[in-house]
Amino acid sequence: KAGVTQTPRYLIKTRGQQVTLSCSPISGHRSVSWYQQTPGQGLQFLFEYFSETQRNKGNFPGRFSGRQFSNSRSEMNVSTLELGDSALYLCASSSGGGNTDTQYFGPGTRLTVL
């Protein structure tokens, strides 16, 4: 089975711009979660989707949003980028049958905001 794929792998944006990141889960997985990883804050939960519904959301401003499509692929969007949004954004998928299902992570998208 192919693993979780994330595109693009690297992005450079400037402050004020917006960005969309994409995640394709493992085939058959219906849950997709997003995490932000920074040296200062570590891994922080952004949101989780299951069957196109957001089931949980972390403590991030409204500039961070996401969605999931009927094929379980997910996108996250960050509007009005700030320097502090520079981070590795990780996507994880799981079967979604239970909230404690094992999450499998993609390689991440490295976002740099200048």
Residues at the contact surface with another protein, assessed by CB under 8 A: 4, 31, 33, 35, 42-45, 48, 50, 55-56, 58, 90, 92, 99-100, 102-108
Comparison of 44 and 79: residue with beta carbon closer to another protein: 44
Comparison of 55 and 63: residue with beta carbon closer to another protein: 55
Report whether 64 contacts 81 (CB < 8 A): no
- Cβ of residue 74: shortest distance to another protein, in angstroms? 14
Comparison of 15 and 55: residue with beta carbon closer to another protein: 55
- Cβ of residue 96: shortest distance to another protein, in angstroms? 9
- Cβ of residue 37: shortest distance to another protein, in angstroms? 9
